[in-house]
Chain A
Amino acid sequence: MPTGKPRALPAVMLLAGAVLTWAHAEEPLAVAARPPPEHRNFLACPILQDTATVPCWMADYAGERYFLGVQTDSGGWSPPYLGHKALIEGIVVSGPRICGGIPLTSNYPQSPLPSGSADGRPLPNPPVTSPMRELDAACTTMLPADLQYHIAARRGPGPNTAASALRPPPAPASLQTPTPPFRARTFTLTYDFDSEVAGKTIGEALKAVQYARAIDAHRITLIGYRGATLLSDGALAQEIPNIAALRVRELAAAVTKLGIPSGTTLAERSIDEPEPADGVTDPQRRRAEIIVTP
């Protein structure tokens, strides 16, 4: 997933005084700012639609059903969980429906390999999908296999084939030995909404520790951020108040166990003020940074 510094947002998108926590997120609050019209950011129960091969994952929003993706393999897109609502951050894909739903996609790559095809057309890169932390007993819908949907998945419900198998992610390549003068470097990890579990970007932690060792760093600073997402109905969904601290705590445990140099100071900081939200680039601001200082 791309990472980067948060960019400055227009003041209208800061939504001062109009923020919602998840406790209120189902009561849309009319605000001036909304995501671009092709974006669909919403919180919903996922729906499982079985097919003759792998299940499709769907979600309903504003009277319409959307296609999120298909079951694939660990290491690819992470489908949602029945028993939990999910935050969907996607962009409408023009073209035919898939499994009866309007397909959504994302600018953030969700899988190193395509998931497969539907009716011979490649499946789009899925939307960013974040299961909520807490259980929701209402999220139970499983629809039986509908044989009109033709999904050719890269990974079927049975064992893999050798050609289609995802391999475990290779260990991040060792950094080239840096040469003086050393400079401070920032390594950024991104997260699912409300999650302190670093997923596909956890390799950045190893890179940071390797760099710290290589330059015998004076300090490693961990900074956790709390994100927010501008929903399609204009409401603002903020992450739980302590998520920045939880991210820092998890990251501190990881870099400590990876082995920071003995003379290096580990500093921790969490920023509980929510990041600004624009409904487009919000996933990249759910993040933590590791700043390695010579």
Chain B
Amino acid sequence: MARKRQARQVRFAGGRWLAAAVLSAAVGGGAPAQSIPAEQPSEHAYWVSPGAAGAAPALSRYHDDWGQIEVLNAKGLTLSQGNAFFEPIGTNGRACVSCHQPASGMGLSVQAIQRRWRETGGKDPLFAVIDGANCPDLPPAQPASHSLLLKRGLFRVSLPWPRHAGPDGSAVEPEFTIEVVRDPTGCNTSPVYGLHSADPHISVYRRPRVVGNLQYVAPDAGGTTFGGAGPFNAKRMGMVMDKDPRTGAYSAMNIMSDAREPSLVTQAIDAAHDHLQRATPPSEMQLQQIVQFESQIFVAQGIDKVGDDFATSDTPPALGARNLQTSATGVLGDNFGKPVFKTFDVWVNRSQNEAQARAEFKASVMRGYAVFFTRPFWIRDVAHINTVGLGNPAKRTCVTCHNLQMVGTDASAGWVDLGTTNEPWAGEPLYSPDSDATPDLPLFKVVCNADARPHPFLGRTIYTHDPGRALISGKCYDVGSIVMGQLRGLAARAPYFSNGSAEDLRALVDFYDRRFNMSLTQREKDDLVNFMSVL
């Protein structure tokens, strides 16, 4: 009875983060998500403010450009008040939810950022200058000061350089020097915040990652990782993986863009300090609340652009958040027997009786999956892919790298230099007196020491917008390597890549087509876009 009452209230509440008034009788039971019907999303639910009264419902949906994204809260209703994920536990008014918004698929779309700017005049804590401005010394609440956030959804990540110790205290010997070639934000040459300041730091600019489906990537979220992780990095066997300091278990090192934190707990501590400007680590109870909530969230597209609802029983078994909740974790999907996004066969039969538009869309999605899974191209000059025993180039497919079943990350520690941040592949515009377009991001010249193992495909002098993993490891061969992100809930959180350089799904496909000379046809590009839109 209690479950019925709870489900009804969630449905009536419109499937969004609920106002506290409707909750008094609903909380406490923790309704299983399966009992919650799909709801109509609200146009006004795009933003959850830190500290606001309310709760995360068991299932919520929000419009995106390709239908509706859904967020499944597997343990049922979660009151936001008193929960550290939602509370402004730092000093700048932000909470975890500030950058991991349900309507953005637990990431943060640039559309949501821009709308929040318009509605608050840039006063929302999201725009705190510590990292929501291009540099903290810029005047706040002026669009030019926050241009990278407003244009590309990028937050400033300030890291000490040179680095002499890893996150676990192990010694780091930097193998390269960094010179600032251009500094459009002014932060890397700032006498206060820059590389030559009294406390030298480098500023790079990155997108928030998805807080959802974490059982697939973070051991302390409760799932298993492929091969049990083990002590050695499968992609560089001499390297011992970082450990979760609390459990002593080896991490899959797939949580952050630069893998600098091995667990959700240490990530929460890091984020509370860097993004929430909290002086001391969160309390044990707060950390437990954060990790528990993060571990029970599943995110996926819930309804596609032609109206298919992925909560129905005849949905392909990889689609929708419920399937993410119930599928096995740690399965290598680069395999015909265990395909990365399982099978879409249920659509083959169903689409025969459907309206033409629906049938055509489904056919396109299935073709896109086939391109993703089986169409080979030359994977070339990718550090930590071509160097792991495949040779350079390797004749393979997308799933070679995006191989973890259900989420499409790399099952191994996933940092690779795809070229998104390193020249010559990074997509920053060129200067020209005839064009108004100018590069947004800083450019660094990295020069590796003579005895360092060089970057395998760029050598000892590398131009990069973000050295990525190398800022943590100090290794020349890691320059530009970024941990790949998961492929779920993409439609709700453009732009893509760690530096927001792909403004939409088509731009993402175009990058790969250009980077690997894939010679994709127009139809193949459309199919890939449609395929990714339903994930």
Q: Which A residues lie at the B interface, using CB under 8 A?
A: 48, 50, 54-55, 57, 71-84, 131, 133-135, 142, 157-162, 165, 167-169, 171, 195-200, 202-203, 206, 240, 242, 246, 249-251, 253-254, 256-258
A161, B337: Cβ atoms closer than 8 Å: yes
**In the complex the two chains form, what is the Cα distance from A259 to B396 in whole Å?**
38
Q: Which residues, 220 to 253 on B, are CB-close (under 8 Å) to A?
A: 226-228, 230-232, 234-240
A82, B393: Cβ atoms closer than 8 Å: yes
B contact residues around A249 at 8 Å (CB) = 173
**In the complex the two chains form, what is the Cα distance from A162 to B338 in whole Å?**
8
Known pairs A159-B339, A160-B336; A134 contacts B454 (CB<8 A): yes
**In the complex the two chains form, what is the Cα distance from A242 to B387 in whole Å?**
22
Closest to B235 in A: A74
Q: Is B170 part of the binding interface, using a Cβ–Cβ cutoff of 8 Å?
A: yes
**What are 8 A-B contacts with C-beta separation under 8 Å?**
A79-B391, A80-B392, A83-B456, A161-B336, A195-B453, A197-B237, A246-B453, A253-B240
A202, B232: Cβ atoms closer than 8 Å: yes
Which of B168, B231, B373, B459 is close to A258, meaning CB atoms less than 8 Å apart? B231
B234, A74: Cβ atoms closer than 8 Å: yes
B contact residues around A199 at 8 Å (CB) = 237-238
Q: Is B478 part of the binding interface, using a Cβ–Cβ cutoff of 8 Å?
A: no
**In the complex the two chains form, what is the Cα distance from A240 to B337 in whole Å?**
45
Please report the number of residue pairs spanning A and B whose Cβ atoms sit closer than 8 angstroms.
Answer: 134
A159, B334: Cβ atoms closer than 8 Å: yes
B contact residues around A54 at 8 Å (CB) = 395
Known pairs A171-B231, A258-B231; A71 contacts B390 (CB<8 A): yes
Known pairs A74-B389, A135-B457, A165-B335; A258 contacts B240 (CB<8 A): yes
A171, B228: Cβ atoms closer than 8 Å: yes
A contact residues around B391 at 8 Å (CB) = 55, 57, 71, 78-81
Known pairs A73-B389, A81-B392, A165-B335; A159 contacts B373 (CB<8 A): yes
Q: Is B87 part of the binding interface, using a Cβ–Cβ cutoff of 8 Å?
A: no
B contact residues around A80 at 8 Å (CB) = 391-392
Best-buried of B236, B338, B387, B451 by chain A (most CB within 10 Å):
B451
**In the complex the two chains form, what is the Cα distance from A131 to B337 in whole Å?**
33
**In the complex the two chains form, what is the Cα distance from A142 to B394 in whole Å?**
11
Q: Is B376 part of the binding interface, using a Cβ–Cβ cutoff of 8 Å?
A: yes
Q: Is B96 part of the binding interface, using a Cβ–Cβ cutoff of 8 Å?
A: no
Q: Is B261 part of the binding interface, using a Cβ–Cβ cutoff of 8 Å?
A: no
Q: Is B265 part of the binding interface, using a Cβ–Cβ cutoff of 8 Å?
A: no
B237, A202: Cβ atoms closer than 8 Å: yes
**In the complex the two chains form, what is the Cα distance from A146 to B336 in whole Å?**
26
Closest to A251 in B: B238
A71, B457: Cβ atoms closer than 8 Å: no
A159, B387: Cβ atoms closer than 8 Å: no
**In the complex the two chains form, what is the Cα distance from A135 to B373 in whole Å?**
32
B234, A55: Cβ atoms closer than 8 Å: no
Q: Is B381 part of the binding interface, using a Cβ–Cβ cutoff of 8 Å?
A: yes
**In the complex the two chains form, what is the Cα distance from A83 to B387 in whole Å?**
12
Which of A158, A165, A250 is close to B238, meaning CB atoms less than 8 Å apart? A250
B230, A79: Cβ atoms closer than 8 Å: no
A contact residues around B374 at 8 Å (CB) = 158-159
A contact residues around B338 at 8 Å (CB) = 162
B contact residues around A242 at 8 Å (CB) = 451
B392, A159: Cβ atoms closer than 8 Å: no
Known pairs A158-B376, A171-B230; A142 contacts B334 (CB<8 A): no
Give the 3 A-B CB pairs with smallest separation, nearest first. Answer: A79-B391, A168-B227, A162-B337
B335, A254: Cβ atoms closer than 8 Å: no
A157, B396: Cβ atoms closer than 8 Å: yes
**In the complex the two chains form, what is the Cα distance from A54 to B334 in whole Å?**
16
**In the complex the two chains form, what is the Cα distance from A71 to B400 in whole Å?**
13
Q: Is B388 part of the binding interface, using a Cβ–Cβ cutoff of 8 Å?
A: yes
B327-352: CB near A (< 8 Å → 1, else 0) gives 00000111111110000000000000
A196, B459: Cβ atoms closer than 8 Å: no
Q: Which residues, 372 to 389 on B, are CB-close (under 8 Å) to A?
A: 373-374, 376, 378, 380-381, 386-389
A contact residues around B228 at 8 Å (CB) = 168, 171
Closest to B400 in A: A159
Beyond the given pairs A157-B376, A158-B376, 5 more chain A to chain B contacts, judged by CB atoms under 8 angstroms and listed by A's residue number, are A48-B393, A71-B394, A81-B392, A159-B374, A246-B451
A contact residues around B177 at 8 Å (CB) = none
A160, B381: Cβ atoms closer than 8 Å: no
Q: Is B418 part of the binding interface, using a Cβ–Cβ cutoff of 8 Å?
A: no
B contact residues around A257 at 8 Å (CB) = 168, 170, 240
Which of A81, A158, A196, A256 is close to B397, meaning CB atoms less than 8 Å apart? A158
A contact residues around B388 at 8 Å (CB) = 74
B contact residues around A240 at 8 Å (CB) = 451
- What's the nearest-Cβ distance from chain A to residue B242, in Å? 8
Known pairs A82-B393, A197-B236; A159 contacts B399 (CB<8 A): yes
- What's the nearest-Cβ distance from chain A to residue B26, in Å? 45
A83, B381: Cβ atoms closer than 8 Å: yes
**In the complex the two chains form, what is the Cα distance from A74 to B376 in whole Å?**
17
**In the complex the two chains form, what is the Cα distance from A200 to B237 in whole Å?**
7
**In the complex the two chains form, what is the Cα distance from A249 to B475 in whole Å?**
13
Q: Is B171 part of the binding interface, using a Cβ–Cβ cutoff of 8 Å?
A: yes
**In the complex the two chains form, what is the Cα distance from A34 to B329 in whole Å?**
54
Which of B234, B335, B454 is close to A159, meaning CB atoms less than 8 Å apart? B335
Known pairs A75-B389, A158-B397; A198 contacts B334 (CB<8 A): no
B contact residues around A203 at 8 Å (CB) = 232
- What's the nearest-Cβ distance from chain A to residue B71, in Å? 30
Known pairs A159-B336, A162-B336; A253 contacts B170 (CB<8 A): yes
A81, B386: Cβ atoms closer than 8 Å: yes
B392, A83: Cβ atoms closer than 8 Å: yes
A contact residues around B457 at 8 Å (CB) = 81, 83, 135
Closest to A256 in B: B170
- What's the nearest-Cβ distance from chain A to residue B106, in Å? 29
Known pairs A82-B393, A162-B338; A167 contacts B171 (CB<8 A): no
**In the complex the two chains form, what is the Cα distance from A236 to B334 in whole Å?**
42
Closest to A254 in B: B240
B contact residues around A82 at 8 Å (CB) = 380, 392-393
A198, B237: Cβ atoms closer than 8 Å: yes
A133, B453: Cβ atoms closer than 8 Å: yes
B171, A253: Cβ atoms closer than 8 Å: yes
A contact residues around B236 at 8 Å (CB) = 197
**In the complex the two chains form, what is the Cα distance from A77 to B394 in whole Å?**
13
Closest to B240 in A: A257
**In the complex the two chains form, what is the Cα distance from A159 to B238 in whole Å?**
27
A contact residues around B389 at 8 Å (CB) = 72-79
A contact residues around B171 at 8 Å (CB) = 253
Known pairs A48-B393, A78-B391, A159-B374; A168 contacts B336 (CB<8 A): no
- What's the nearest-Cβ distance from chain B to residue A128, in Å? 14
B contact residues around A197 at 8 Å (CB) = 236-238, 453
**In the complex the two chains form, what is the Cα distance from A169 to B494 in whole Å?**
37
